[in-house]
Amino acid sequence: MGEHGWVEDRTVVIEYRWAEGRGERFAEIATEFVRLKVHVIVTAGTDAVVAAKKATSVIPIVFGTAGDPVANGLVASLARPGGNVTGLSNQSADIAGKRIELLREVVPSLRRLGIMANIASFIGVLEMRDVLAAARTLGLGVAMLEIRGAKDIAPAIAALKGSADALYVVTEPLVNTNRVQINALALAAGLPTLHGQRPYVEAGGLMSYGANIPNLFRRAADMVDKILRGTKPSDIPVEQPTKFDLVINLTTARALGLQIPEKLLALADEVIE
């Protein structure tokens, strides 16, 4: 926003809220923003923008990152979003197959994949479906771990031990908040973990592949600037990622006894040691 000439607390006031990994907080925050009569609501993640859209059909909403916005009913189409919502799709569900293919290069013995998803989340259900389809297309067996809260995580991973070769973790707020616990439990169970974003690998996950989130939010700032200067969100097409990052944690790989192929290391945008 600063690059567009906005100065916080002088020409623009920004109200920050964090849901703390609790999905029910999104509706509370959205209602609060409506009450504050903000000029634009910026969200991160599918569940947050769904809550914001339910709270207002008038205040412009820009999602910095969200899963398939058309399938989730956030916009009419990417080119013509309509209504009061626009933003950037992270295409997380769309690249599920690519993620699994990358994982197979690290775990060539992969035959059965565990899939952990929060089924109380819009994106959790959507991406779980696409991961399941991608895994079956690649000839893999699957073990579904359906969670709804933090208390479900440890029992789910414990149940997976010995019955899967790796764990695909669907990115959404609940697992984001509990990513350290998820990766620690998976490592103890000897399970390589596959994620959609870099912070999960920083928290001990094996690898991630997904849209570069800082780049998405930088572009979201362009949209917010346009809206604050008078453009309607319905006239701003939804954009898609232009930069994807592959991140690998070598420390975790060694702890699991895995050898990362040199060609994959050469492709990685970041290698954590």
Give residue 218's pLDDT band: very low, low, confident or very high (50, 70, 90): very high
- Residues in Cβ contact with 264 at an 8 Å cutoff, skipping those fewer than 6 apart: 102, 105, 106, 246, 248
pLDDT for 72-101, tens place per residue? Answer: 889 999 999 999 999 999 887 788 999 999
Map out the domains of the chain as residue ranges: 2-90+212-242, 93-210+245-272
Q: What is the pLDDT of residues 233-258, one digit of tens each?
A: 999 999 999 999 999 999 999 999 99
Q: What pTM, to 2 d.p., does this model score?
A: 0.88
Which structure tokens are listed for 172? Answer: 């959404």
Q: Please count the other Cβ atoms lying within 10 Å of the Cβ belonging to residue 69.
A: 24
Query: For residue 121, what pLDDT is reported?
Result: 86
- CA triple 19-27-50, angle to 5 deg: 95
- 201 three-state secondary structure: helix
d(CA 133, CA 2): 42
- CATH fold for the domain made of 93-210+245-272: Rossmann fold (3.40.50)
Same fold across 2-90+212-242 and 93-210+245-272: yes
* Identity at 2, one-letter amino acid code: G
Other C-beta atoms closer than 10 Å to the C-beta of 206 total: 30
Give the model's confidence band at 37: pLDDT under 50 very low, under 70 low, under 90 confident, else very high: very high
Edge-first strand listing for the sheet containing 112-118 = 141-147, 112-118, 166-169, 193-195, 207-211, 244-249, 270-272
With both helix axes pointing from N to C terminus, report the angle between 153-160 and 179-188 in degrees, rounded to the nearest 10: 20
The answer to whether 199 touches 224, Cβ cutoff 8 Å, is no
- Spatial distance between the Cα atoms of 109 and 228, rounded to a whole number of angstroms: 53
pLDDT band at 126 (very low <50, low <70, confident <90, very high): confident
Query: Residue 143's pLDDT is what?
Result: 96
Q: Provide the greatest CA pair distance for the chain.
A: 58
Q: Is the pLDDT of residue 161 over 90?
A: no
Closest Cα partner for 45 from 118, 146, 136, 143?
Answer: 118
| Confidence (pLDDT) at 20 | 83
Which has the closest alpha carbon to 100: 143, 144, 140? 140
Distances (CA, A) of 191 to 60, 92, 94, 123, 252: 43, 22, 24, 23, 10
3-state secondary structure of 180: helix
Query: Tokens 């999602």 belong to which residue?
Result: 63
- Label residue 22 by pLDDT band (50, 70, 90): confident
DSSP class of residue 256? T
Q: How far is CA 40 from CA 29, 144, 155, 180, in A?
A: 13, 38, 41, 33
Kindly report, residue by residue over 171-206, the tens digit of the pLDDT.
Answer: 988 999 999 999 999 999 999 999 999 999 999 999
CATH for 2-90+212-242, options being 3.40.50.10790, 3.40.50.2300, 2.130.10.10, 3.30.200.20? 3.40.50.2300
